[in-house]
Structures are given as C-alpha cells and as structure tokens.
Structure 1
C-alpha cells in the first residue's frame, strides 16, 4: 500500500490488486512494448530480410522477454526523461539490453502505434485469460454450489415488490448462473484485433525498403501466431473496436453481478437470507447487533464505478481525428483502473456469496402464510374444466385482500366441477407450487459446467 496514494486502487485496495500490477502498472506497459518490439525482431529474423541473429543475440532477446526487471524499467524512464517519448525510450533501451549487431532491426519501419496497439492488446489478452475468466469461473462455481444445495428449497418470489408465485432458492440462483454463463462463453472465445502496418496503415515504409516482400501477409501471420486477428484496414491507429467489445461484455457481466448484489441485499433485509458471522468483525459503531451485507454493497459500488469508466472507454477509444490524434493515449492508461474496479466488485460479490446462508424456515413460513399464491394454479385448472371466467372469480376473493386457505378451498368446494379435480386442489400447498424449478436449475448448472470445461 502507498500511504499517500491518490487512488484507493493503490491505497486501501492495493493488497487485493497485486496480480493486476503485472498488466496495468506503467512497468507492465513498458514491458509489453518491449515484448512487441522483440517479437517483431524475431519475426524479421525468420523472414530472412536482415543478416541472421546469432545465438547470443537470440538469447539476449529471450532474456529480456522472460526477465524484465525493475532496473530495466527504471532505465527506460531515465531515457524517456531525455527523449520525452516513451516508445522511443523503449527502442533505445532495447539497443542497450539486447546488444544487437544491427540495431536497425529494432522498430524497423514501424510507427509508435504499431508497438502501442499490440502492447495494450497483449496486456488485455493476458489479463482476460489469466485473471478475468478465472474470476468469473470462481463466481460461477460458487453459484453452482448454492444452486445445487438450495434447488429444492421453496422460496418466496416478488414481482413489482409484491408476493408472487413461489420458486426454489436454487432456481433463482440458477437465473444468474444462466446469465453469467452466456457472457462468459462470449469472453472465452473472444479474439482481439491488432495491426502492425506502419504510419497510416499501408505498409509504405516497409515496402519502400523491401518492395518485393509481402508485408501484408507477414503482418497477418505475425498477429495470428500471437493469438490475434489482423485488422485488415486501419489508419495509423488500430481502431480499438474490439477493446470496446471487450469492455461492453465486461459491463454486462458487471450489470448481472450488480443485479445479484441487490437481490441478495433485499433477501437479507427480508430475513430470507442471512450471513455467517465472523468473530471480531463489527457491523456498526453504535449498534452491536448489526451484521451488514457490506460485501454486496461494496461490490455494487465498485461495479457501478467500473461501468461508468468502461462506458467512457468504449465510447472514446473508438474515435480518432482523421488518421491519428493523441487523445486516446492518456485514456488508454486508465483501462487498468476500470478493470481493477470491476475485479474488486467481483471479489466482493464472491466474498458475500461465501458468507451467504438461506433461512429455510423463514422461506417456508412465508409461503405457508400466503395461501393467496394458490389463486394462480386454481384459476388455471378451473379454465380447463369449463368454469366461466375463473380469473375474475379468484380475483374477487383475493386482490387487495388476505384470503385464508380455508376460504379458497370453500370456494372450490362450491363449484360444479368433478370431485377428482376438487380433491387435487385440496392437496395443494404454496410450498409445493414450484413448477419445474428443480429441472431448470439442473439445466443451468449443467450448461455452466460445460462452458467452463
């Protein structure tokens, strides 16, 4: 933790974001820039356009990729104080670090944006694969545990805040499993675009030097080799449209998670859920009894903040004046902040879920105390046995009222319908009126597990 940090990401929350520094700190950005430049040198070497690299040069290149140190980063910053250009500082540093005999291979015919777009893209790609997807999987696996444990527990539902037909607790958790799984699958198969095509995207400098070499095919193969798809037509910059797509999928995961945060908060407020108590924790500075749902609240707040930033990033980064302006540069440096707030929100959601308990007795009691919930199945079955307008019949005795179960059964008793139908209705209890909830829960769980394989 930096005790005088301006951002809570580097202060209060620093301990929770240690893995993120590898990707989003300034050192991480410089590392990815250097990595791009060096992978490009290796590709040039394979193409045979320059004198072959010797064993020592290749080893130096690989060592820089595998062992980029704090000292390396500090040297780049020293050079940048003179050049006032970060990418050029990386190039000069790499001349020193790799000791290439032909230093002109470094940054050959490239523009800064060739290095920059791929640096940020490799950064996002690595983060998605190593941190983001595993975090979503952790949330899904916890939700699966809850859904399977609770899939047969009857659960009171609310539509418009009012009592509605019951479900099971597990099936209501499965709704979120289903939603998160859909977006997870999109992120899992997601591929970023990249470009390495020169100052305005036409390979002009490259072709000026080697006019008979197929630079377009070279660039496309280079990008695909490293897990990207080539953006075939660009200006000086890569258009960042796939950044926006990634951020928007992330926003959608966050929106679903916020919905879950709020539902858990509400169910806790109604004593349908509760939280495990941890010794030593305090819920209020003045009310000793309090066990507050702070993880769900913290999750909601961080995800809201993340989404506001992700929305801005998605809007801004897709726009650039003519062939290039620099307004995207300072904005891109905040991508890590947006994704870090998103990660914090998901971390807090998972912490809340790990504390969550269901108050099964309260759930059952609320349903037992709500016989009016049987008006839906009663009026539905009466429709198929010829009763005229059973909806209005049940509405008269229930809407805005508090009918007892005995009142509803007495109404059924007085109807001119087959006794077998009456006997079937007499057996109904609100706690059993859960439809196909268990099977729906199982299907959602199965789909999530299949997606994560």
Structure 2
C-alpha cells in the first residue's frame, strides 16, 4: 500500500518554506537575505540604476541632462533606502508583465521619476525617463549588483562569523596550551602534543584563508552589449567611455574589469568561492576532530553551553549534534560553492544565461556555511577539557618515548659513543606491538650506556612532558 496525503492540508498553498534555510534555520541565516535574496538583488539593481543616472548627470554626459540638485539626489537615493515589502510586490507585478527582471527595475525607476514632482518643486526629473538604463545592457546592471551584494554578504555577515570562530579557537588554544595530549597519527598512539597546539593549527589554517578572502577583487564592468562601448561611442563620441566606466565601477566600491564579453567573466567569483570552500573544508576537519576527541573522552560536553539536548532514549549520552550539523552543512555548502566556482568561469561565446540561474544559489551556498559556523561556535562553547582522561592515556603509552630514545642514540652514535648501533631496530623490538610501562622504558635507557647528561635527559622524560614546543606554538610564540 502506498501512503498518500490526498485528504490532508495542502502545504503548497501556504507560505511554508521548502528548504531548511528559510524554514527550520531561518533565524540563524536571516542576515544574508539583506544581500543575497531576490529582493536584495533588485534593491541593488535599483541602486546601480540610480547611481548611473546621477553619475551621467553630474558628468554632463548627456545633452539636456544637467547635474541634479541635492533634493533630487536625495529623492533618488531614498528610493533605494526605502525599498521594502510594498516595492518588492510592485516590482513583482511589473515583472509579471515585462517577463524581464532588469527591465522591471528600469520601469519601476521611470515611474518614480514621473512622480518626482509630487515631492520636489520645479524638478526636471520627469523629463529624464529616457536616461534611465541608457547605454546599459542587463548584464551591466546585474554584474555590478551581484558584486555589491556578494561583497556585502561576505564582508558584513559571513566573514565576521568566521573571525569570531577563530577568536574562539584562539581562546581555547591559549587555555589548553599546556594540556598534554596523546597524539594519534593514523589513529594510533603517537608523539604527544598539547590540546592547545592542535586547536591552534585550525586557527592558523583559517587565518590564511581569511587573508585570501579579505583580498578578494570584487570586479565589475559597464561596457555594453559585447564589451566594446560601441553604442556609447556612437551616441556620445566625445566622451571617454572606458575612463567613465572605470570611475563609475570604483564609485560603487568595486574594482574595474576593462576587458569582458557581454558578461563580467566571474573569475573573481570563482576564486572567492574556492577560498570559502577551502575554509569550509578546514572547518569540516575541525568538526570531525572535535567529534573524535569527544568520542575519546578528551572533551566533555556541557549541555548549557552547547544549547542542545542528549539522546532521546539513552540518558547517559550527550550527542555531539552541533559538530555533526556543522559537518553536514559544510559538505552541502562546499558542494554548491565548488559547482559555482567550476561553472561560472564558462560562458558560451559572448553570452549565455546559465550564470543567471547559477548565481541565484550563492545565498544558499553561503547560508549553509553560515549555519555551520553558528553550530561550530555553539559546539565549542559546550566543550570542557577532560585533562585527567588525557593524562591517563599518556600514562598508559610510555612506548611513545621510543622516538626520543632512538634520536638521542643516533646523535650519540654520531658523536662516537659506543653501543649506539641499530637504534631504530632496537626500539622497534622494544615497543612495536608492546605496551611499555615506565619501569621498562627507564630500564632500557639505563642499559644503553649513554653519557650521563643524555641519560639524564631521557630519564626526565614522561609522555606528558615530551611535547617539544607545543605550548609555545599554541599561543603563537614561535
């Protein structure tokens, strides 16, 4: 029997979200809607159209269009600042007729110019309808709008969350800088470290990606249908259009790309998404390592700090849900970002519209990463260091000192001390597949006939103090 919902409430007729970012997790990613939602994109398009109109007037490019006075500029810019739910609905109605999103914004702005006299005395704005969107192809508006939106989303929302996470990691690394921990290379006991040093590795890795992301070139162009300013040159041959285009793009806070087809080539987007995806992968590594340390008992989970609950049936368990949720969302985010990065660099001949659909998923990709960042931060807040558990593991693995003994034997052998032959093989015989306790290791060291100072150094070693520069590395003192 196939179960059906024929007689149930029809969710499709409600405003219930299909995806988790606009449903279950809305509160955690809502800030991105100011930059990467469809209304946010249309607001940015309106901003570009308004600023282009003001720019042309101020530079007196068009005969008959004189520089606007302060009231007129204020009126035009307020259209962007006040762009809200009513304007979003109005724009939808216009687009239903135009069947073209950028054309709808053009008509929306022209209608506001018609009404300008209602608020500004003796204005000429209603005369300038033909100047709206003049010399622009849709991609001139779109690429600049996306540049503004993506730059804002990364700089104002996503990047501050990542910086906050790195600060958390720095604090944890500092507080655990001197907490010795048995390392596990290939999942097996290995040369000890400190917990702080291992956490500092992640902070260091993420900072490198942050520097790359902070140096992103947010490129833009405004050069017409095939990137040649052909119509511009014919329409106003006296203007230096490349120079004007550069000035306008920089006025919007972007960097000018002088050489394009109809579209800005999106290479900068590809680079940015690759960097964010790499940061995601590092955070994914952090999530899986924290999960592993929890499973090993090296971290205890604090429910109050983590803001989550335990198992639904096994009361002894606290599930590491924050790290598991982060892991899943980072995988989804990276998959989308890597697809964006791979596909946006390709356009058929001078233009196709695959990028139009693809770019509408930028918010989804960043949203899953932002959700993961929130979960990682919550997970880290809920961790207590179980230093006694780590100490117990160290005490049970004296064989990890075999590396130190072998290297001292090599050094002394090179210096001419007798009896230092085959150090690796001798330590392998002592330690491989054997659990070595303190007495066994000390007896072996004493039996070697080392010089007094070398023997003293080895006898002073314990698994919990064989940590090299780990403490200094944890706090950046190297």
Once structures 1 and 2 are overlaid, which stretch shifts more, 25-34 or 406-415?
406-415
Aligned-partner Cα distance in 2 for 1:10–1:96: 32
Contact 2:229-2:241 at 8 Å conserved across structures: yes
- What SS class does the counterpart of residue 128 from structure 1 fall into? helix
What is the aligned partner in structure 1 of residue 417 from structure 2?
A: none
Among candidates 30, 36, 45, match of residue 48 of structure 2: 36
The answer to whether residue 338 in structure 2 is matched with residue 338 in structure 1 is no
- What SS class does the counterpart of residue 284 from structure 2 fall into? helix
The answer to whether residue 291 in structure 2 is matched with residue 291 in structure 1 is no
Once structures 1 and 2 are overlaid, which stretch shifts more, 266-275 or 97-106?
97-106
What is the aligned partner in structure 2 of residue 9 from structure 1?
A: 21
Aligned-partner Cα distance in 2 for 1:372–1:143: 31
What is the aligned partner in structure 2 of residue 439 from structure 1?
A: 472
Higher-Rg member (1/2): 2
Aligned-partner Cα distance in 1 for 2:397–2:151: 51
Residue by residue over 1:288-337, the C-alpha shift from the partner in whole angstroms, topping out at 9 and shown as x without a partner, is 12111000000000000011111111111111111111121111111111
Contact 2:329-2:372 at 8 Å conserved across structures: yes
Long gaps (5+) in structure 1:
447-453
What is the aligned partner in structure 2 of residue 451 from structure 1?
A: none
Rate the CA distance shift 1:212–1:177 in 2: closer, same or farther, 3 A. same
The answer to whether residue 51 in structure 2 is matched with residue 18 in structure 1 is no
The answer to whether residue 399 in structure 2 is matched with residue 372 in structure 1 is yes
Deviation at 1:11, TM superposition (A): 0.8
Aligned-partner Cα distance in 2 for 1:5–1:69: 21
What is the aligned partner in structure 1 of residue 95 from structure 2?
A: 80
Aligned-partner Cα distance in 1 for 2:349–2:144: 21
Contact 1:3-1:11 at 8 Å conserved across structures: no
What is the aligned partner in structure 2 of residue 233 from structure 1?
A: 259
Deviation at 1:6, TM superposition (A): 0.9
Rate the CA distance shift 1:281–1:440 in 2: closer, same or farther, 3 A. closer
Aligned-partner Cα distance in 1 for 2:194–2:97: 66
Residue by residue over 1:78-100, the C-alpha shift from the partner in whole angstroms, topping out at 9 and shown as x without a partner, is 11111111101100100122432
Aligned-partner Cα distance in 1 for 2:99–2:84: 22
Rate the CA distance shift 1:281–1:147 in 2: closer, same or farther, 3 A. closer
The aligned length equals 444
Among candidates 417, 429, 434, match of residue 450 of structure 2: 417
- TM-score normalised to structure 1 length: 0.95
Aligned-partner Cα distance in 2 for 1:55–1:379: 80
Contact 1:34-1:90 at 8 Å conserved across structures: yes
Contact 1:60-1:97 at 8 Å conserved across structures: no
Long gaps (5+) in structure 2:
1-13, 117-124, 414-419
- TM-score normalised to structure 2 length: 0.90
TM alignment of 1:322-333, pairs within 5 A: 322-333=349-360
Contact 2:291-2:323 at 8 Å conserved across structures: yes
The answer to whether residue 161 in structure 2 is matched with residue 135 in structure 1 is yes
Among candidates 75, 78, 82, match of residue 63 of structure 1: 78
Aligned-partner Cα distance in 1 for 2:308–2:162: 27
What is the aligned partner in structure 1 of residue 329 from structure 2?
A: 302
Contact 2:165-2:377 at 8 Å conserved across structures: yes
Aligned-partner Cα distance in 1 for 2:303–2:230: 66
Residue by residue over 1:97-150, the C-alpha shift from the partner in whole angstroms, topping out at 9 and shown as x without a partner, is 243231122101100000011111110011111012101111011001101100
Aligned-partner Cα distance in 2 for 1:343–1:420: 54
Once structures 1 and 2 are overlaid, which stretch shifts more, 410-419 or 158-167?
410-419
The answer to whether residue 339 in structure 2 is matched with residue 312 in structure 1 is yes
Once structures 1 and 2 are overlaid, which stretch shifts more, 419-428 or 336-345?
419-428
Among candidates 105, 120, 123, match of residue 131 of structure 2: 105
Deviation at 1:155, TM superposition (A): 1.0
The answer to whether residue 223 in structure 2 is matched with residue 197 in structure 1 is yes
Aligned-partner Cα distance in 1 for 2:315–2:301: 16
- What SS class does the counterpart of residue 430 from structure 1 fall into? coil
TM alignment of 1:159-238, pairs within 5 A: 159-238=185-264
Among candidates 87, 91, 114, match of residue 106 of structure 2: 91
Deviation at 1:152, TM superposition (A): 0.6
Deviation at 1:39, TM superposition (A): 1.1
- What SS class does the counterpart of residue 61 from structure 1 fall into? helix
Aligned-partner Cα distance in 2 for 1:420–1:216: 75
Rate the CA distance shift 1:282–1:135 in 2: closer, same or farther, 3 A. closer
- What SS class does the counterpart of residue 278 from structure 1 fall into? helix
- What SS class does the counterpart of residue 126 from structure 1 fall into? helix
